[in-house]
Structure 1
């Protein structure tokens, strides 16, 4: 994997784009001037939504250190019915077990996404069946499709020519990045058979080489950067 050329210039351009988007989006209004934040979603159904406790703090630290994006340094936690849901441009879901949404949560998630929000779901080995069922309720007319490797989410800051990195091996399946598009905007990004969040955790939490941790962090930086810059596109 290679670092993109003229990286500092790219970060400066991204910061300019974010500044422009903040002026027009409802997500910034409640977080204070020019601040961005990541929220972990607490869902019902019995799944461990709280898995990988060090993952988001490490990702947030990397975003703050490697980009010019004005990110909040603390991970937030929300439910789909919280009044603060629309404060966050980036929502993260993970877990090993069942996820179940109420009718109100289905409507709230649909509204969040159609108004410019971004949802990243990371199957932590066990979430796949219930997530596919629930996201079909949110968007029955929008399929979950493979995100082409040419998409900006794989090249915006760091280059991933073959899609998301694979952190853990379970069933011999390749890591996949899937998503739901609203117009040209990728609104939902689903990492399957990748365990990306495990790669964001503290080095040493799992017996993985540091290189995999670095690859996962780089992919996470891409995800957040895309989430906050893609909102300027109608």
Structure 2
């Protein structure tokens, strides 16, 4: 069994994969970048997650390993992490094994944040139907806990990059009442987490992105 930090609900491992993980040293508060097939740039925004982790460790009393790992969606390694982060601009493909592995991870306590880096939406929405055939992405209301877990966002998901000027939206998939997957769209949080010189975002914009990221981290670790 993999547990999150104290007072955080356990991430239960299915019997079929438990033996393969017992020899691993698992930290209670680790996050990882999710690598996927299809040719999309899963590796984009390389400074984003390290900067978010440092922000959380400095501001919301987390103790996350700042050496960010990469895990493949079809690997049992994903069960070591309470939170996975996925991003990119283009194509995403899950084979049947990937979809089943990700589903087991999510319904057993894991959390996936997918941040559309612009252009990912048509591909990921199709592939998520393989993971949850009977669950649709639903827009998350602005009063949901994820917008209030540490910092308050009364207007919901903040807009970080303009792209084509559409409003930012947060969608989710729920399992037994728990938000297990967050899809942030037309916001580009990860660009706001990156080093300042990458996109030259104003400091107040980067701060909004990091605070929203901290909300996501806290929610994922505690739910």
Do they fold alike, i.e. is TM over 0.5?
A: yes
Structure 2: give runs of 5+ residues left out of the alignment: 14-20
Structure 2 residue aligned with 1:199: 192
Distance 1:203 1:119 in 2: 25
**Counterpart of 2:16?**
none
Is the aligned partner of 1:160 residue 2:153? yes
Shift of residue 154, structure 1, vs aligned partner: 0.3
SS at match of 1:21: coil
Does structure 2 retain, via aligned residues, the 8 Å contact 1:18–1:69? no
Q: For 2:11, which of 20, 25, 50 is the aligned residue?
A: 25
Asked if residue 219 in structure 1 is aligned to residue 206 in structure 2, the reply is no
C-alpha distance in structure 2 between counterparts of 1:71 and 1:111, whole Å: 23
Contact 1:179–1:189, Cα closer than 8 Å, also in 2: yes
Partner of 2:136: 143
Moved beyond 3 Å, runs of 4+: 24-32
Aligned partner of residue 191 in structure 1, secondary structure: strand
SS in 2 for 1:52: coil
Q: What do residues 114-149 of structure 1 show as CA deviations (whole Å, max 9, x unaligned)?
A: 001000000111110000000111111111000011
Q: 1:85 aligns with which of 72, 78, 86?
A: 78
The CA distance in 2 between the partners of 1:154 and 1:134, in whole Å, is 26
Classify the secondary structure of the residue corresponding to 2:181.
Answer: strand
For structure 1, the residue ranges without an aligned partner over 5 or more in a row are: 1-16
TM-score by length of 1: 0.86
- Hey, what does 1:44 align to over in structure 2? 37
Report if aligned partners of 1:35, 1:72 keep a CA contact under 8 Å in 2: no
TM-score (norm 2): 0.90
| 8 Å CA contact retained: 2:89, 2:119 | yes
**Counterpart secondary structure, 2:114:** strand
Whether contact under 8 Å (1:26, 1:87) holds in the other structure is: no
Taking only aligned residues, the RMSD between alpha carbons, in angstroms, comes to 1.7
